[in-house]
Amino acid sequence: MLQVALSQLKTHSRRFIAITLAVLLAVAFLSATLMVNASTKASLKASIGQAYASADLVVSPPGNNPLPESAAATVAASAGVGESYAQRTLYIQTDLGKSSIGASFRNVSAFPSLEPVKLLSGTWPGNDQEVVVDTVTAERNSLAIGGKTTLTGQGTGELGDVKKPSLTATITGITATSADPQSSGTAQFVGTPAAVNSLGTPDDGYRTISANLKDGTSIAEAKASLAAALDQPIETIMTPDEKTTEQVANFTGGQDQLTIVLLAFAGVALLVSALVVSNTFSVLVAQRTRELALLRCVGASRSQVRSSVIVEALIVGFTASVLGVLAATGTMALVLTLLSQNPDFSFATLAVPPSAIIAGIVVGTLLTVLAALVPARAATAVAPLAALRPADDATMHNTGGRIRLTIGVVLILAGGVGLIAGGISANLLLALPSGAASFIGFLMAATLFVPKLVSLAGTLARPAGVPGKMAAANAVRNPRRTTATASALLIGVTLVTMMMTGAATARHAFDSELDGTYPVDLAAQTVPGGDAISEADMATASALPGVTHIARLELVGLVTAGNTQLPAYGISDADALALLANPANRPSRTSVVLPKGTPGSAGSLLAGTQTTNLTATSSTAYGMTALVSLDAFHALPADDPLHTQMTAPLWITVDPALDANALMDLRTSLAQTLHLDENQISGGVLEKVMFNQVIDMLLLVVTGLLAVAVFIALIGVANTLSLSVLERTRENSLLRALGLTRGQLRGMLAIEAVLIAGVAAIIGSVLGAVYGWAGAQSALGSFADVAAVIPWGQILAVVLVAAVAGLLASVIPARRAAKLSPVEGLAMD
């Protein structure tokens, strides 16, 4: 039977091209997803964990207090440690000629292998009066090697007697800009340890100590030895990968949401791959049922027939799986190489874990074999002569149909309940398998209703004459064939719509959360008692490119809520609408918005000698100012004593399309225009941009994987249509012999394909919208308010594209069917 299998592969190679391509793409989809997971972690290690990415181990403080000098000495003296770097970073001010801006000042590593950033030109600091600066800061501020800069520390002492140490240093080198998103928008300087200590305070310690181990020292041994020597928990001594994962978990409220979402997407990829490969190969093997039965008639046993099919599947599956892994690796390498050319994603790193290779080959081969085994077993389970007769389709009138319907309905109901429960409880681990089960149940029951829906839609094709009527009739005459063709596209459209709805819903949830966490883009604050910002400067600032709205808050009085007293600032209703995206942060005429966490549901506003009782509402941010409506309360007179203690800020909204570099340039321009130091202009817009870049990167990766899924679905449609034409060769030839023209035959197949594709697209769109919303709710519901956002325009485009794709997929099969003469077709079997 091995010769029979090899003969089939050689004789009917054209049939196996489509299935090989489908398996190849499915495996590429799965392997690429696993590579995305590993590459994302590697990219995070190169960005968030850049400070210690090249180390073997990272020592972190056991609590909130930094590590002391003694800890650095202990690590350096440890028997298993070859090199160590205790990193100290200060946040300072620097005078770069234009204005004073915030900066970070870090000590250089004594060991080049542990230095976080690369030196692009010049030399590292050789003495305590030399520093190096990152290339972005150098370009933005026209700094060059040999230039001077003044660095100023935070200082110590009592209020009003603060001593701020300063250092005038020569720039000796230019380094690459750190990819750590926490350093986004900050000038980055590196100096000698003594220079950094001179601007710090006695309380400054080390946030991390990186270490490279000596040859022959194991990670486990080194962890235990360092934990004992430092007298701190072994959990505080981690590998760079472990430390990066911990930091990501800290950013997401103690949960590694990123890993959970990526693993969930890997599960979706696996499910889609299994369904598409199984469907496509099942149709291919089912088309050979009569051929397999004929082998039984000439003496082949059941096990021999099954073995021949398994060998075919094994060869096709293994070959396609290897090609799929290679395709995934090449595609990921190309995408990440192009992505790394963008300065915002320069940290993008390719990682190809062994699991991506092994899982791709094993899963692809097993899926192909299992998909071929089921129809082969069905063909050999009956007598050969019975198998040569046409098989009955699963309907409500036979046992097979009733069993299939029962299992499908049970899976739909059970999966639906689990999906709803997972969404309500924000439990992705429950929602994912439940959604998969309900979708499998839907596909199992599809034979019982998809043909009827296609036939119903066929009434729209009746004006096309005979081809239209016959296309509608074919849908119910062979339900198995109709459902197989529709299922391939149904899977793809469901996935596309699910991702579109999920992405739109997730984007809305993230934007709402960011708008709540960072309610104001930028705020400009003058020093109490200093010169106020003039209206002319405000007008000039509002005309700067990138500024969309600017408004001055007015000091209204003091508001008391419980035991808390805060200055109350007024903002007009129009300015609040333009500046505050989240409605919860906008005051009404009878309410005061208090910082998040302020107790009490009522407050009293003291404005001059007048006291007004107000309803108190909580804002979405802890650092928010107490706000009242300027349309209900007047600003305090200019001579009120409260003005000498505090000043009202300017709030500024900027163009959301600006990237981090453009925002830094805009902040510099605003500081110059408003005659302020850059440290007097603050706001969460840089953090919002950083998080949006991460979201955009993830959506870009998902879109790339999505394109593969859509292509797989289209291959499935073209494959099932081609097999359908092969299966109906005698039927089509008989129609030609009875007078159907070639054009009418092509039209019939085209209309049939459009009807099936249209119905599959509509069903898939409805399912995808439900799954997309439920998935977003279950994944993000624990830390964000999730409201369903359905992109109707995109979904309509998907339905139209699916219909056109069905039409295009029918072109080659229809042309092949019309090209065959009726006599040749009737002679074939």
Q: pLDDT (tens digit, 9 = 90+) per residue, 624-671?
A: 889 999 998 988 888 888 888 888 889 999 998 887 778 888 888 898
Residue 148 neighbours by CB under 8 Å, 6+ apart:
168, 169, 170, 171
Compute the average pLDDT of residues 94-107.
Answer: 78
Name which residue leads in pLDDT, 249 or 244: 244
Same structural domain, 1 and 16? yes
pLDDT at 705: 58
Name which residue leads in pLDDT, 809 or 223: 223
pLDDT at 160: 41
Of the candidate ranges 52-56, 708-712, 731-735, the one whose mean pLDDT is the lowest? 708-712
Instruction: Say what angle helices 466-477 and 450-457 make with each other, to 10 degrees.
Output: 170
pLDDT at 123: 95
d(CA 166, CA 169): 10
pLDDT at 314: 85
- With cut-offs at 50, 70 and 90, classify the pLDDT of residue 391: very low
Extract the tokens encoding 248: 């990501």
d(CA 448, CA 442): 10
Site of tokens 């599809």: 446
Same structural domain, 82 and 231? yes
Indicate whether 145 pLDDT > 90: yes
Residue 46 neighbours by CB under 8 Å, 6+ apart:
53, 179, 347, 348, 349
Measured CA distances, 240 to 59, 184, 212, 243 (Å): 10, 21, 11, 5
Extract the tokens encoding 741: 């023209």
Same structural domain, 139 and 166? yes
Compute the average pLDDT of residues 763-772.
Answer: 90
- The DSSP code sequence of 433-466 is HHHHHHHHHHHHTGGGTHHHHHHHHGGGGGGG-H
Compute the average pLDDT of residues 292-307.
Answer: 71
pLDDT at 698: 62
Indicate whether 266 pLDDT > 60: no
pLDDT at 211: 93
Q: Which of 626, 648, 682 is the last residue of a domain?
A: 682
The answer to whether 152 and 199 have CB atoms below 8 angstroms apart is: yes
* 0.85 surpassed by pTM: no
Indicate whether 710 pLDDT > 70: no
Measured CA distances, 278 to 268, 293, 483 (Å): 15, 21, 14
Compute the average pLDDT of residues 575-582.
Answer: 89
Q: pLDDT (tens digit, 9 = 90+) per residue, 316-358?
A: 889 889 998 998 888 888 877 877 776 666 666 777 888 888 9
Same structural domain, 408 and 387? no
Of the CA atoms within 13 Å of residue 20, those in its CB half-sphere come to 15
| Strand 81-87, strand 89-95: pairing | unpaired
Of the candidate ranges 18-32, 125-139, 382-396, the one whose mean pLDDT is the lowest? 382-396
- The DSSP code sequence of 58-117 is EE--SSSSPBPHHHHHHHHH-TTEEEEEEE-EEEEEEE-SS-EEEEEEEEPPSSGGG-SS
Query: How much is the mean pLDDT over the chain?
Result: 80
Same structural domain, 468 and 595? no
Q: Which of 251, 271, 295 is the last residue of a domain?
A: 251
Same structural domain, 694 and 577? no
Same structural domain, 567 and 503? no
Same structural domain, 75 and 219? yes
Closest C-alpha to 279, from 475, 435, 490 = 490
Same structural domain, 464 and 605? no
Indicate whether 405 pLDDT > 70: yes
Q: pLDDT (tens digit, 9 = 90+) per residue, 469-488?
A: 887 777 677 777 778 778 77
Residue 652 neighbours by CB under 8 Å, 6+ apart:
520, 521, 522, 523, 524, 541, 547, 549, 550, 670, 683
φ, ψ for residue 402, nearest 5 deg:
-65, -40
Closest C-alpha to 450, from 762, 829, 759 = 759
Same structural domain, 439 and 411? yes
- With cut-offs at 50, 70 and 90, classify the pLDDT of residue 263: low
Q: pLDDT (tens digit, 9 = 90+) per residue, 152-176?
A: 886 554 434 456 788 999 999 999 8
Indicate whether 120 pLDDT > 90: yes
What is the Rg, in whole angstroms, of the alpha carbon atoms belonging to the chain?
Answer: 34
Of the CA atoms within 13 Å of residue 461, those in its CB half-sphere come to 26
Same structural domain, 276 and 308? yes
d(CA 658, CA 635): 34
Residue 301 neighbours by CB under 8 Å, 6+ apart:
none
Q: Which of 682, 705, 737 is the last residue of a domain?
A: 682
Same structural domain, 714 and 769? yes
pLDDT at 547: 93
**Domain encompassing residue 420:** 396-447
Q: How many domains does the chain have?
A: 5
